[in-house]
Amino acid sequence: MKRLALFLITACLSVGAMAADVIKAERKEVFGDVTVHYNTFNSTFLTPNIAKAAGLARDKNQGVINVSVVKGGQPLKAQVSGSVKDLTSSSVTLNFKEIAEQGAIYYIAQYPVDQQETRTFEIKVQTGDKINTLNFNQELFPGQ
């Protein structure tokens, strides 16, 4: 599980190899004292062991979104939900699952990537009674 945590935090904090969001290259949003880090990449970047440990499917047509929430430098539990829309406004609900490890909490979800295109992500992060929303566009590519 430590390898999973290391991979997911690296993926969350790095620029995704799957696409580039030039407007927000740092891949985070700050809402007062809460910071939300996010990243998305093709599931084939996961090793088979990491994918299995996280309960994710490795497939060239599956993307992964990884979200972490931090307050005061410490991981923060949250309710994370969202959707991803294609250019025709067809929407897929993102079903996030929590992965909690010593010193880290991650929220991950998968979504289909059938062809190269730009998608719009809407992520809602609820901490306590406060709900923050982040939106971003990202060009996605199926894996090789």
Predicted local distance difference test score (pLDDT) of residue 142 = 87
Q: What is the dihedral of CA 131, 124, 7, 40, to 10 degrees?
A: -150
Contact 30, 69 (CB under 8 A): no
pTM (two decimals): 0.81
Predicted local distance difference test score (pLDDT) of residue 26 = 81
Predicted local distance difference test score (pLDDT) of residue 16 = 41
Radius of gyration of the chain (CA): 14
Q: How far is CA 31 from the centre of its chain?
A: 17
Q: How far is CA 94 from CA 2, 3, 6, 144, in A?
A: 25, 24, 23, 23
Average pLDDT, 10 consecutive residues per value, the chain (144 residues): 52 42 72 96 93 94 96 96 94 96 94 93 96 94 79
What are the chain's domains? 2-140 (2.60.40.3340)
Predicted local distance difference test score (pLDDT) of residue 17 = 39
* Coarse DSSP helix, strand, coil percentages of the chain, rounded to the nearest 5 percent: 15, 50, 35
Q: What is the DSSP letter of 24?
A: G
Predicted local distance difference test score (pLDDT) of residue 143 = 76
Predicted local distance difference test score (pLDDT) of residue 144 = 64
